[in-house]
Structure 1
Amino acid sequence: MENLLTRITINPDICHGKPTLRNMRWPVEVILDLLSSGMETADILDDHPELEREDILAALHYAKLSISGDIPKEVG
């Protein structure tokens, strides 16, 4: 699971420094919003072909670590 965190990037020049996926303008919070709205992973991937299944898993893993307080100082 730790290698999923390499997909999470924090860059002050992208999305105001929020955690994003692979330095794209896809904040983790947007992926969580899509999932919490009821979208299935397959639907998200169909609608946004630049994303990969592992990106969705990385967003979920990052959120879990964030809630538990176990976010590594360096991600991606």
Structure 2
Amino acid sequence: MNNSSGRITIDPTICHGKPVIRGMRWPVEVILDMLSAGMSTEEIISDHPELEKEDIQAALNFARLSVSGETIQQENV
């Protein structure tokens, strides 16, 4: 499964099927961990230039949808 913009993907062959950024081995939970540790979007991107601002936003949106009780569908992720 992936979202319409291709930012969050879920593939059972990548990271045990956890949601990841653009099919890379960057689980959404790792992005959230960095943000919760106090890193800014700019710091994350500076340390990991393969990531983009839109990736961080997509991870936050995925987390919001996950905890909202909404059904996460391909076009919502």
TM-score class, shorter:
0.7 to 0.9
* CA RMSD of superposed structures (Å): 1.9
Give ranges in structure 2 of 5+ residues lacking alignment.
none
Normalised to the residue count of structure 2, the TM-score between the two structures is: 0.86
Q: Distance in 2 between matches of 1:71 and 1:20?
A: 18
**Between Structure 1 and Structure 2, which shows a larger proportion of helix residues?**
1
Q: Give the Å deviation of 1:41.
A: 0.6
Identity %: 61
SS of the residue aligned with 1:54? Answer: helix
Normalised to the residue count of structure 1, the TM-score between the two structures is: 0.87
Q: Distance in 1 between matches of 2:51 and 2:60?
A: 14
Once structures 1 and 2 are overlaid, which stretch shifts more, 43-52 or 62-71?
A: 62-71
Give ranges in structure 1 of 5+ residues lacking alignment.
none
What's 2:57 paired with?
A: 57
Higher relative contact order (Cα pairs below 8 Å, separated by 6+ residues): 1
